[in-house]
Amino acid sequence: MRYGILGPLEVVGDAGPVRVAGAKQRAVLVLLLLDANRVVSADRLIDELWGGRPPPRASVTLRSYVSVLRRVLEPERPAGATARVLAWQPPGYLLRVGPDELDATRFERLARDGRGLLPADPAAAEALLGEALALWRGDALADVAFEPFAQGEIARLTELRLATAEDQVEAGLAAGRHAEVVADLERLLAASPLRERLRGQLMLALYRSGRQADALRAYRDGRDLLVEELGLETALLAHDRMGARGLLARTRLHLAELLLDGGVAGEQQRGAALLEACLADAAALGMAQVAARARDRRTPGSLGERFAPA
């Protein structure tokens, strides 16, 4: 049996998709899947299903839901035989789920493995991360999107999905596919415009594609959005009174940090050159905060110092 929660609830048996009828039955199955292979107490299931206001015969109703789910999950089980997939274990129920039978578990494993390959083998990492993202069929836990019990897991899985997409872009950049990832980054940023890592990746992709003006525009758009949406400016964006040259100095600093930290052959030298240009502009404009941060990257032993011009 395979289960999907990365989208609408999905149950697939040997013969194909299995229909789970009834919103409450689906909610019970989701609750058990979120704690797969662990006992979930009957009291907790009742509390989560009815929000602390259970009907008079809640225990009986819960047992009827479980009975329906058992017939769905074990259609070949003889009448009266002990349930093995959805078992009663005091004080509640346990749903046995095998390795990789739940799409969320497989997604997390693939994402973790792909992330681990990033430094050494970007192409393999990109493939694994793409396989992980392909498991998504919509919004996480779509059937119970408004249930209080689902909110924490929805937020966690959604964040993991976005972080995995960022890792996939990182792998594409490391593999030299700078122009190709721009469209993906623009799509991701349209959905999550305040995501700083995505904006930094877009700037880097544009810069490496020879689109320096567009990289600067992406930086400026991000600054304006932060100020408009949050009413504040980040450390790199603070005290902007220097016009375009000041903006360029901070853009160079951000790109230099990305290049120095990227671990891509040949990019550290470019990052060091950008760092020197940033230092010159920051010193000329009296941008003490930017200059201090740039100098920190040139401390003895750092990549910025190692590749700085003699």
pLDDT digits (tens, 9 = 90+) for 252-271: 777 777 777 655 556 677 77
138-158 residue pLDDT tens: 999 999 999 999 999 999 999
- Return the pLDDT at 58: 97
Nearest to 101, CA basis, from 55, 39, 36: 36
Contact 168, 117 (CB under 8 A): no
Q: Does domain 2-95 have CATH number 1.10.10.10?
A: yes
- Where along the chain do its domains lie? 2-95, 102-138+146-175
- Return the pLDDT at 236: 44
pLDDT band, very low/low/confident/very high, at 248 (cuts 50, 70, 90): low
Of the listed ranges 136-150, 176-190, 227-241, 286-300, the one predicted with least confidence: 227-241
- Return the pLDDT at 235: 42
Q: What's the mean pLDDT in 183-200?
A: 91
- Return the pLDDT at 265: 55
Say which residue the tokens 């509640």 belong to.
Answer: 92
Instruction: Provide the CA 202 distance to its chain's centre, in angstroms.
Output: 17
Say which residue the tokens 């109703």 belong to.
Answer: 61
How far apart CA 166 and CA 82 sit, in angstroms, is 46
Residue 184 has pLDDT above 80, yes or no: yes
Q: Which residues contact 212 (CB under 8 A, 6 or more apart)?
A: 206
pTM of the predicted structure, to 2 decimals: 0.77
75-132 residue pLDDT tens: 989 988 999 999 999 999 999 999 999 999 999 999 999 999 998 999 999 999 999 9
| More reliable by pLDDT, 41 or 119 | 41
Average of per-residue pLDDT values in the chain: 86
Q: What's the mean pLDDT in 162-183?
A: 95
How large a percentage of the chain has pLDDT more than 70?
A: 85
